[in-house]
Structure 1
Amino acid sequence: MNEQEQAEQQRGVFILGGEGSHRGFWGEKAKGRGWGVVIILVIAFIFVPSFGWPPIVLGVLAAGVLVLITSATHNGSILERRVRRKRHRESVKTRSGDYHPYDQQRVTMLTAALEQTAKTKDKGERAARVEWARELAAMRATPDGADGMGWLQSARGIPGIAWHGPVGEDPYLSVAFAVSGQLRGMESPDSTLRKAEGFGALLAGRAAPGSLLRFVQPVTRILPADTALQEWWVMTNIDDEAPEWAKKSYEEVLIASSAGAMVQRHYVVASWPLNARFAEKARKFGEGRDGWRRLMAAEIESAQRGLHDAYFGEAVALTARGTTAVIRHMQNPSRPLDLVRDLAPTDLGERARGGEFSAHVVEGIDPETGAQVEWWHRTAAIRAEHLSVAQRTPLWLLPLLTGSKLDVIRTVSFHIELIPASEARRAARKDLVADMATEHAQTAGGRIPLDEGSVRVLAATRRRNDLAEGGGHHGTNWIGYVTITSDSKEQLALDSRELEELCDTDAGIHRLEWLDSYQSAASGLTWPIGRGIKPDEPTWAARTMRMLAGKGEKEAIS
């Protein structure tokens, strides 16, 4: 087979899995544990001159305990499990998982009631005071999944620009685009590869150091088919003189065709960090927030062009109310996905009940019937280190997105951070050297190496070749999330097991990391708001180059 045939055979095939972070002194994983062992042993040796050999024994025992409690298993480490249980106990005790949408009138009434009964000795009033205080604590402007979210631009008929300031994270702006998706109907293999390459070109085009857009979040919402349009067509087009059996027959067709059918709605969220470079660029468009909005108008138009060129169809930037409607639907699927008539941009949350270790429980209302409904949500993380190391095609996630084996409402979201090629190239070179050294150590003395090691070397080699000068590729940092929704606790448990089985057997995801003990906040990781990815930590050399580059020339026209 010649080189051209080999290249054609490898087109559209990539290796994904096993690499959760860049290699380091302690290897790809367990960096914190390695430094912890070093610190323990150093402290032990410091006390040797004063106490002799006992500090060494205690240090070795402490290091052994640290290794045991931090060793990763398919259920997480002992330390992680204890932290989750403690977090859950605190949540139950304080009822911090409860959420009530903010109501100024209710707040005023409860505050007045607490003041009036401040010195009461009646047991009934004391119990009522506890409930009033808990309700006040649960009443917040935004739900846990959208903590610190507001709007830079929220008027009707124009793109909604969300302004985020989560606690402990850097602020950023985000815009959600509704897209039709790349694959529609039957597509040839060449067409599928061309569209996958188009998405790669979109990411590469925005990963350059001068680009302000740094994060992209594709979101796919999978929900039961809605026959409302077909029913409306029947009501407006069927002959009034048609026999009843004919009308009944069409109703049976709708029921039979929609049973078990799931449809997909696709979104792409773009995020812009609010850093010094953004502020400097915005000054060229105007003063203050007006400059920000004008700059974002240009960025939104550029993102729409990129999505169109990447075969996503017509990319429509959602308004603030449109984005809010999607978020509310993801909490309460009884609400239609596009229902905006009763919403303001700040109406982001549905009433939620805490106290569940493995679920985010929403208590909503069906807008069509007015009946009370309850929905149970559970979110899991899809990390690179939990994927089997194997060659994959662009359709590797298709069983999770469209598979008929899983008849459950779900949202699948991937967060992608764009890393300039110059920074990714250095990390790829280090990873390749580390992987080759590991494989050499495994084969030393005639030992049979692990298959995972050779595949990892192949993946690192291809990544380094892709990032070579002139290749047009850039680096990425990514993580995926999936949220499933059921109408009861028992059904949620069953759906969780089915999802794990589907991911393991059909998608090569051998472990889903359920984000238990903080599921109310985890739900927001699949909402179209760009939450859920930890930015890649640049190397010392990359940080130095960024500092030397500065914010740009103030005198430049752009």
Structure 2
Amino acid sequence: MTRLSVLGGETGGRGLLGAGMSRQRKVGLVAACIVGGFLTLSLHIPGAVITVCLIIAVLVATTGENTLWTQHVARARLRDAAKRGTDVYRPYDAAEWERLASNTDRSERKAVIRALAALRQMPPGADGMGWLDMRASHPGVAWHAPRGESEYFSVCFAVTGQLRGIQSSRAVDQAGELFGRFQASLGKLSSLASGVQTLTRVLPPDSARHEAWVRSQLAPLPERVTGDDETARRARRAYTGHIEAVRSYDALLRQMSRGAMISRHYVIVTWRNDARFAAAAATKGPGRDGWRELMADEIASIRRRLQAAGEGRVDVLTARQTAAVIRNMQHPDWPIDQAADVDPTLFGMASDPAPKAHHVSAPGPDGHAADWYHATAQAVPASIATGPRTLLWLLPVLTNMRLPIIRTVSITRVVVPTGQAKRSARQDVTSDQAQQLSDRDKGRLVDEDTVVRLNAAKRRRADLAPGTGHAGVEYLIHVTVSARTPEALAQARRQMSEAFDNSLGIEQLEWFDSYQPAASGLTWPIGRGLRPPKTSWGDRFERRTARD
């Protein structure tokens, strides 16, 4: 029997106003109380009336799943993007930039500004991304400085996975335990790596490797010759046989891949570019040379740990290979393994505005323009129905889909050091128990949501007991579906929502309809989507003073 684990019921930190209240409502109520306080002091009774009206307005605007405030923010975001021209993306081209910048026609000024805003180095999903190491035949180390977030580095590892073929329940349990140990190792105070993203890409078979194999097996294509002697006839037969062999193998690949889907698995590890990283890199060498030397050691260590975790074959992707994966996720017609023609500094595909979708319109490998539509959603832990689950609980959305949907499922985790996670669990248990006692003292029925949160916090505290070797973790699940038409994309969205609800017990997927182009990056192999957990001054001091 495969081991069962209870998931669900988690809502994050409790805070001063409790856990059952959204961030929008908390901010709105605090602002309403501050403004209302000044109005009451200055206007007395009229000010108090206005304060009550403000509080009621906040409660109404933040009630429900798709609140009025959320709708307002989404519309404002779309209007702002259209006004500034950032709803369109075109890969940066120096000649085009110079042509637009030299346009002095005042009647075309707005159009020129929009066109200049569309020309960007990186696509919306990889805003602020560059490379610390993009050398050929070297592990690709991406350097990220997203707007409003801390800098970090990421490296993508391609793995074959822990389970292949039919495996026993014991093998499944051992695989889960090994990967759990790998994640826990990132939560040690001595660890510089801080986050891990596991990503599964489900797509039609990629023929790039098969085509490379058949090219290596065939003799060089002979030249076509004229003449009627025996040598010319033999040469023509060789030429015809070569072409027929290639066409036959191509037909076989097309027949075998019709309606079939394969899975590719990746593990992305992230490192924060903070004071601890800089201090460790300084011992390796000056400046960025020291950073690269440190990252080389870290990458080798992570690769060994992934192999020890039973992840099968572990390959560190180069910058070109990582960019090829991202190109495939934007335009699935491009083979995911075709990296020779990719520019790691300019891998974005042209995109245009589309309702509730990331619309990519760019040439495929055959040179003809093609359209692809993508939609990304997230399943936050609070939407996961509480209940026991096996280690294979995500399998239905990875393999057993009714339609052959091209999709990417990503789980981004930020590992929380054990001490910090224990303190958070104890605080949450205390807060929820105090809420229960308060409800009983006031003669109110105990809120079911409080009971669920308390049980989840108690499980978390038990998992972090001394001797378990566990660390804390904050995680988010993201999924991206792709289709060639808006109608097919809408169908894929419906089926994916049904699969998450019926098969996984995730009650709701939150689709990022007002910023789908940027949301696509949440399922790219670059470790986006989850900010580092908030830490107290004591936790930061403890990590800074840690010694290897």
TM class by smaller structure: 0.7 to 0.9
Map of 1:69-468 to 2, 5 A cutoff? 69-73=61-65, 76-112=66-102, 114-115=103-104, 117=105, 126=107, 131-226=111-206, 258-354=257-353, 356-367=354-365, 369-438=366-435, 454-468=451-465
**CA drift at 1:259:** 3.7
Hey, what's the Cα distance between the residues in 2 that align with 1:287 and 1:231?
Answer: 44
CA contact (8 A) 2:13 2:424 kept: yes
**CA drift at 1:390:** 1.5
Distance 1:58 1:135, change over 3 A: closer
CA contact (8 A) 2:202 2:408 kept: yes
Hey, what's the Cα distance between the residues in 1 that align with 2:395 and 2:463?
Answer: 25
Which deviates more from structure 2 when the two are superposed, residues 436-445 or residues 214-223? 436-445
Map of 1:516-527 to 2, 5 A cutoff? 516-527=513-524
2:363 partner amino acid: I
CA contact (8 A) 1:397 1:507 kept: yes
**CA drift at 1:429:** 1.2
**CA drift at 1:252:** 8.8
1:171 partner amino acid: E
Task: Indicate the SS of the match to 1:476.
Answer: strand
**Over residues 19-63 of structure 1, what are the superposed CA-to-partner deviations in whole Å (9 max), with x where a residue is unaligned?**
131222322133552464355345434444553322222211210
CA contact (8 A) 1:220 1:411 kept: yes
Task: Indicate the SS of the match to 1:418.
Answer: strand
Matched, 1:66 2:64: no
Structure 1 alignment gaps of length 5 or more: 1-8, 119-125
Q: TM-score, normalised by structure 1?
A: 0.86
**Over residues 254-301 of structure 1, what are the superposed CA-to-partner deviations in whole Å (9 max), with x where a residue is unaligned?**
666544321100111111101001000111111111111111111001
2:511 to 509, 514, 539: 514
**Over residues 110-133 of structure 1, what are the superposed CA-to-partner deviations in whole Å (9 max), with x where a residue is unaligned?**
333x04x45xxxxxxx45x65444
Hey, what's the Cα distance between the residues in 2 that align with 1:419 and 1:71?
Answer: 32
CA RMSD of aligned residues (A): 3.0
Task: Indicate the SS of the match to 2:193.
Answer: coil
**CA drift at 1:331:** 0.6
CA contact (8 A) 1:41 1:56 kept: no
**CA drift at 1:452:** 5.8
Hey, what's the Cα distance between the residues in 1 that align with 2:348 and 2:321?
Answer: 14
Distance 1:254 1:167, change over 3 A: closer
Q: TM-score, normalised by structure 2?
A: 0.88
Distance 1:49 1:25, change over 3 A: closer
How many residue pairs are counted as aligned between the two chains? 523
**CA drift at 1:309:** 1.1
**CA drift at 1:490:** 1.2
Distance 1:255 1:330, change over 3 A: closer
Hey, what's the Cα distance between the residues in 1 that align with 2:413 and 2:248?
Answer: 48
**CA drift at 1:202:** 0.2
